[in-house]
Structure 1
Amino acid sequence: MGLAERRKVLGYSQETLAQALGVDRTTVGRWECGKSEPQPSLRPKLAEMLQVDLADLDSLLGRSQALSQDAAGSPSSDDHTPGVTEDMIRREFLRAITVTGALAALPGDEVEELSEGAHRGAVADFLRMNAHLWQVYQLAHSKGPVLPVVHEQLGTLSRAFKERSSTEVPSLCGAAGDLFQLAGELAFDRNRYVDAASSYAVAASASKDAGAFDLWACALIRHAYIDLHERRYQEAANLLSAAERIARRGDSELSTRHWVAAVQAEAYAGMDDFTACERALDKAEQVTHLTGLGHNGGWLRFDGSRLAEERGARYLQLGRLDLAEKALMTALGQSALAPGHSFRRRGAVLVDLAVIGAKRRDVDQVVAFGRKALRLAQESSSGYVARRLRALRVECGPLAGDGRVAGLEAEINALGKT
């Protein structure tokens, strides 16, 4: 993907992007044609607007390809640009699944001949490794180190499709639907929304082919989060409606349908529909009625432990500040938010409490909770928490004259440039 494609995906015209950067529209055109490059002083702002880091901005500008050419003009084997690697893996996987799907139409002896030498038992190994990677991802303060291992597992899985018989394809599709959701989570946390959406789409397709309804529904739920982030609430509601229908065909002992309801509440809150939001939250809370575990700790982790923070966040969206603060303080005091648990979740609660302070013009509350969230973002390198903190700056506009708020905003700005 180049600069022009990324700009269009995010809804910018050349003119609107140029105005935000303080340059002429023709300057943006020259960047996109490769005739010139942005000045160093403009790069951080351009990267922020395109929702990428500086290394990925170079990739969009075509610099990574130029720098990785060897003397003969061929790409270097040392090119590990994340977006490039993920795109290649997705294309290779889709090609492989097409080929293996075609094998099902061949006579049995031809299938055996083509799949000769396949290593049995690999599917179970993939599933065990996937489960381990989800655990590492969940516990890791910084998600970045998980990425190379996931890339390696994706590559191995893609190659496995070429070696397995057609009877093994559904199981491999299930493993792929699982792993591509994790790849999407990693991309989303790094603010790479196009890559996240592509990974979730592949995950949904693979899960469908596997006949794994809960896995399929979870891929759609994760995809809906991208629409929610970009405030396309109706689009998210439509996607979640499809996920709800699919989840009904899944395992009634799993919490998939309750997770759908929890995310639907966010879409309804975005559309300012308090009644529908409350109804969805109440449905999500029925997860506590499940007799078993209800989740697998991997691609499905919804267990009801975050219901208080979800309710608080939704009330905040709807402008019900007293209800929101009560629910969020309950969430903050729960053991699920103690040190060692999700930095992303604790960061979101802290930012929401800071936002409530900003809406009430309470500087002490803004600074107290904002700084705690900032420390979490610095410790974890979480793009998600950093993104929430940048949104907090908008709420703090009327308080910008206060020195403590200005200092917090300066540290948030610095966080976005690292």
Structure 2
Amino acid sequence: MNDPSPLAARRRMIGYAQQDAAREAGVDRRTWGRWERGEATPYAYQLPRLAAVLKISVEELDVLLSRASGSDPRPAPTPAAPSLDDLDTAVADWAGLSPTTEPVRALWITEQDLAMAGQALATFRQFDHTYGARQNAGQVADYIERQLHELQQRPAASSEIAHQRALLTAEFCELAGYQAVDNGEPEKARTYYRRALHLTSVAGDRPYGAYLTAVNLGHLALHCGQPETALRWASAARSAAGTAASPLTRAAIAAVVARANARLQREDEATKLILEAEKLLDRGDADEPAWIRYFTHPYLADEAAHCLHDLGRPPAARGQLVDALHGVGPDRVRRRAIDAALLATTWVASGDLDQACAAGTEAVEYAARTGSGRCVARVTDVLDALRPHADHPAVHELLEFTEAVLPAALTG
């Protein structure tokens, strides 16, 4: 009798009973049965071993699995990314609604499952800080669509665990969105951020939703050259969070509102907000959520430096950048590259080419250690500002050094 499952037909062709094939693949027989019935699909890391068991290539296995699930083996078209106007609506909806009390669909997952996923998130974040998004953005996206999707399909031990799962998924989507920005893919970033914002409501975490709205969406709007939108979103987050958010969360939000005001040349308002953020930082304690603990005085100094740069005050910006570079850890390579590039820009604005090239060399060195598109773009901006002075010895040396270690910055 012909078996309707292509995967089962292949297993029988090579002489395996279902239990034997499952044992060789290192999975439970019930898992194998779900694969054959198209009710589940293997993880990416399981595919090579499964293909070896069935004595076929991974590509041939992909076709069998697609047929088993009744889907087309070709990837589905990517949904259109939301526009900034779409996100504006999402922010307005989020700001106007109370946290949902609707229970998340039942799952059988435990605190241990979430702890393992949390460890994976911490590892991905550390890799991102050190090496930039290009190195592991694909792995983060795959983890979201496979491992986290699988967690969504399983029953959970309690509603609290279900809410924690929603928040953890939101944090993964936040990271994926941030990496999309780093890779020059703002459309993909908008998709991930909108998904993360929705999940904060599912998790009932108003402060984290405010953080996403101000820090992630606000910075994205600034990146896209829309400071008015950034100001509107960050201000909405600041109002919605109120005093319920932790001091560090409120400090980070205030810093983005300051950035938007500085871009709009509202110096008094920007200065007031930076001072407010400094006071809030001093009130932070051990009870701060894990996702905001990175925001320290050196990170605020970076935000203040960008404000001062946008306001046309390079000497003051340099003072903040020195604090930022001295305070951020050596493993934060991308942050150090961006701040060194901004420092070089302030020296160009002040007409000191030698100092500009010294800072520019440091920026190139850091950027060459990452796969960060933003770092390359910042270095490119510095080099463009220095090109009119290419006959200056220090500038000539910097251009030669960049060509040797970071040629992408010369063609960006």
- Shorter-chain TM band: 0.5 to 0.7
The AA in structure 2 aligned to 1:321 is: P
Cα distance between partner residues in 1 of 2:312 and 2:239? 30
- Residue number in structure 2 paired with 1:216: 209
Question: Matches of residues 18-417 of structure 1 in structure 2 within 5 Å?
Answer: 118-121=108-111, 124-125=114-115, 128-133=118-123, 135-137=125-127, 140-154=130-144, 155-164=146-155, 167=159, 169-220=162-213, 221-248=215-242, 250-252=244-246, 254-293=247-286, 295-298=288-291, 301-332=294-325, 334=326, 336-337=327-328, 340-396=330-386, 398-402=388-392, 404-405=394-395, 408-409=398-399, 411=402, 414-416=407-409
Cα distance between partner residues in 2 of 1:130 and 1:344? 20
8 Å CA contact retained: 1:135, 1:298? no
The AA in structure 2 aligned to 1:284 is: A
Displacement of 1:104 after TM fit? 5.8
Cα distance between partner residues in 2 of 1:305 and 1:330? 6
Cα distance between partner residues in 2 of 1:126 and 1:201? 25
8 Å CA contact retained: 2:124, 2:136? no
When residues 316 and 122 of structure 1 are mapped into structure 2, their CA distance, relative to the original with a 3 A threshold, is same
When residues 76 and 249 of structure 1 are mapped into structure 2, their CA distance, relative to the original with a 3 A threshold, is farther
When residues 127 and 241 of structure 1 are mapped into structure 2, their CA distance, relative to the original with a 3 A threshold, is farther
Aligned-pair identity (%) = 20
When residues 353 and 305 of structure 1 are mapped into structure 2, their CA distance, relative to the original with a 3 A threshold, is closer
RMSD: 3.6
| 3-state secondary structure, aligned to 1:380 | coil
Structure 2 residue runs of 5 or longer lacking an equivalent are 1-58, 67-74, 83-99
8 Å CA contact retained: 2:305, 2:318? yes
8 Å CA contact retained: 1:353, 1:365? no
8 Å CA contact retained: 1:377, 1:386? yes
The AA in structure 2 aligned to 1:273 is: R
Larger radius of gyration: 2
Cα distance between partner residues in 2 of 1:352 and 1:289? 26
Q: TM-score, normalised by structure 1?
A: 0.66
The answer to which of 275-284 and 192-201 deviates more is 192-201
Q: Deviations over 1:237-275 (max 9, x none)?
A: 1111122123226443x4111101111221111101110
When residues 317 and 126 of structure 1 are mapped into structure 2, their CA distance, relative to the original with a 3 A threshold, is same
- How many residue pairs get aligned? The number is 318
Structure 1 residue runs of 5 or longer lacking an equivalent are 1-69, 78-83, 92-100, 106-110
Q: TM-score, normalised by structure 2?
A: 0.67
